[in-house]
Amino acid sequence: MALLTLPTRPIEGQRPGTSGLRKKVAVFRQSGYLENFVQSIFDSLEGFASQTLVLGGDGRYFNDRAIQIIARMAAANGFGRVLVGQGGILSTPAASAVIRARGAFGGIILSASHNPGGPDGDFGIKYNAGNGGPAPESLTEAIYRRTLTIDRILTVEAADIDLGRLGTTALHGMTVEVIDPVADHAALLERLFDFDAIARLIGSGRIRLKFDAMHAVTGPYARAVLTERLGAPPGSVINDVPLPDFGGGHPDPNPTYAEELMVAMFADDAPDFGAASDGDGDRNMIVGRRFVVTPSDSLAVLAANAHLVPGYAAGLKGVARSMPTSAAVDAVAKALGIACYETPTGWKFFGNLLDAGRITLCGEESAGTGSDHVREKDGLWAVLFWLNILAVRGESVEAIVRSHWQRFGRHVYSRHDYEGVDAPAAQALMARLRERLASLPGQRVGAFVVAQADDFAYTDPVDASVTSGQGLRIGFEGGSRIVFRLSGTGTEGATLRVYLEAYEPDVAKHGIETQVALAPLIAAAESLAGIRAATGRTQPTVIT
């Protein structure tokens, strides 16, 4: 087995976005593309000689090839051990759990998460540090800078590893251990939740559940936990076989893309509890019978009911949410007398707060919820948290959310996405609005008067690092707000996200359909930003 030093040249455009580097599969398959980025990761790290690297992905097209390439490079760069999920599979939260449980130096996760897969779809890669969490901005920027100067790649000449068989093999002096992708994560979840109570609830027949794995990575995890351990009957976990192209679907757990689940949950004989997860298993959607729980509300409900769950019975240290996420959890934090932090979009910004013990729960409006048990959002964790609450309270999903609104008021919330729009046009829309921010306060926009407007900047309370340009916030008198942001995970054109939020304390108005309740705010967003004229779209692509 020869050690090879292969010359290479920098490739442009390898700057990680909200969550790692995501590009079309065709881009990643270009000669040297993956290799350059992986070598840039290794060149930006120090002290990993003889240490352990965790490696796995969501099973999408090119996952298996990429694993072989990265394992050879890890050996050449001096890692002592690579732990790889069987079949190359590790959900994002499971990878985080494995890194932490095994004391690894870090991990590489292969995923483009909710983006479609297959030969014409997307691929992605990101580095997670020894805390199990996504690399902080300082590291992703260092990796990017390295991609601009890289001139050689280290690899070894070796046969492919057999990813199908559990056990260890040697690779150029490094050990490769193929591990069960589910075991560490499932054991961790079992310590946090009252599995016996959930199993009793399911076994009693008092609730029927349906989990849609969307042909993505959570199939094996959901089968092991929901079916085998908790006794959910056959048919409870659907689309549970991971496919390299996710069956041609869009593995994004929202009412638009998780269509099969939505049809089931709105049928006459609908189950009581429905859930779905995304490509890499870190997102979750929670649905009651004919009732969708908004992710921002879900975070707030989990925080308000955390004392009912064994792993959190001792109380929450604090909570955090990404800036565009609704303030529903803020209201809970206030009632509990705990801190609530507002961070930029992307899980990497929760890492310091979790490591410093300032927060226990955190979440994002994009269907991500998690806690200090790992350093990623965790889809199956959220599902079990809800099931644990249902087991204790014995009420329906809808009843739990409605009584939550009754107590805290309803933060009526929606996100409108304009996907794949012309990038320069979207950037120009943002630039025009950014220029007007300072002049907006005091101005009337439709039914509203602007109270404050800014471009969100965040100073990390732990390490004082500053991140700016994180979304245009326009707050109105009375507490409603609109946020405009461009996505940092897409691979085609630009995606404009418009986040809409209004606070409704009046219980009599809680039943109003969300889009109807938000109609005046939707009109205000159009008049502020001129979305139709700039994008040529009359409707959002996806409404969540």
Helix (H) / strand (E) containing 233: none
Minimum Å gap between C-beta 291 and ligand VG1 is: 23
| Residue 315 tokens, joined | 């109380």
Q: Which of residues 94-153 bind ligand VG1 (CB under 6 A)?
A: 113-114
| Active-site hit among 40, 91, 113, 366 | 113
The reply to whether 470 sits near ligand VG1 by the rule CB under 6 A is no
Element (H, E) at 383: helix 379-393
Pairing state between β 174-179 and 81-89: parallel
- Side-chain-facing half-sphere of 15: CA atoms under 13 Å: 8
- Which entry of Co ion, ligand VG1, none binds 240, CB below 5 to 8 A by partner kind? none
Please give the backbone phi and psi of residue 414, each rounded to the nearest 5 degrees, phi first.
Answer: -155, 150
DSSP string, 263-284: HHHTSTT--SEEEEE-TTS-BE
| Three-state SS at 21 | strand
Among 91, 489, 535, 544, binds ligand VG1 (CB under 6 A): 489
In a 13 Å sphere around the CA of 85, the CA atoms on its Cβ side amount to 31
CB of 460 to Co ion, least distance (A): 23
**Under the criterion CB under 5 A, does residue 113 sit at the interface with Co ion?**
yes
Q: Binding segment for ligand VG1 among 24-32, 153-161, 278-286, 431-439 (CB under 6 A)? A: 278-286
Q: Which residue is nearest to Co ion (CB)?
A: 113
Which residue, 18 or 40, has its beta carbon nearer to ligand VG1?
18
Find the binder of ligand VG1 among 271, 346, 409, 540 (CB under 6 A): 346
282 near ligand VG1 (CB under 6 A): yes
Rounded to an integer, what distance in angstroms lies between the CA atom of residue 443 and that of residue 450?
A: 6
In the complex with Co ion, which residue's Cβ is closer, 111 or 147?
111
Q: Does 364 participate in binding ligand VG1 (rule CB under 6 A)?
A: yes
Using the contact rule CB under 6 A, the part of the chain among 39-47, 157-165, 201-209, 484-492 near ligand VG1 is 484-492
- The set of residues, in sequence order, having a beta carbon less than 8 Å from that of 417 and lying 6+ positions away, is 487, 495, 496, 497, 498, 540, 541, 542, 543, 544
Beta-carbon count within 10 A of 449 CB: 14
Site for Co ion in 276-305 (CB under 5 A): 278, 280, 282-283
Which residue is nearest to ligand VG1, using beta carbons? 113
Contact 60, 280 (CB under 8 A): no
Whether residue 113 lies in the annotated active site: yes
24 by DSSP, 3-state: which?
A: strand
- Tell me, rounded to whole angstroms, the distance of Cα 428 from its chain centroid: 28
Residue selected from 58, 122, 184, 278 as contacting ligand VG1 according to rule CB under 6 A: 278
Binding ligand VG1 (rule: CB under 6 A), the pick from 283, 289, 375, 410 is 283
From the list 106-114, 258-266, 453-461, 494-502, the region that binds Co ion by CB under 5 A is 106-114
Q: Per CB under 6 A, does 347 bind ligand VG1? A: yes
521: Cβ contacts below 8 Å, ≥ 6 apart: 448, 480, 482, 500, 501, 502
Among positions 155, 366, 388, 480, the unique one binding ligand VG1 when judged by CB under 6 A: 366
Q: Which residues are catalytic?
A: 113
Residues that bind ligand VG1 (CB under 6 A): 18-19, 113-114, 278, 282-283, 322, 345-347, 364, 366, 368, 487-489, 497
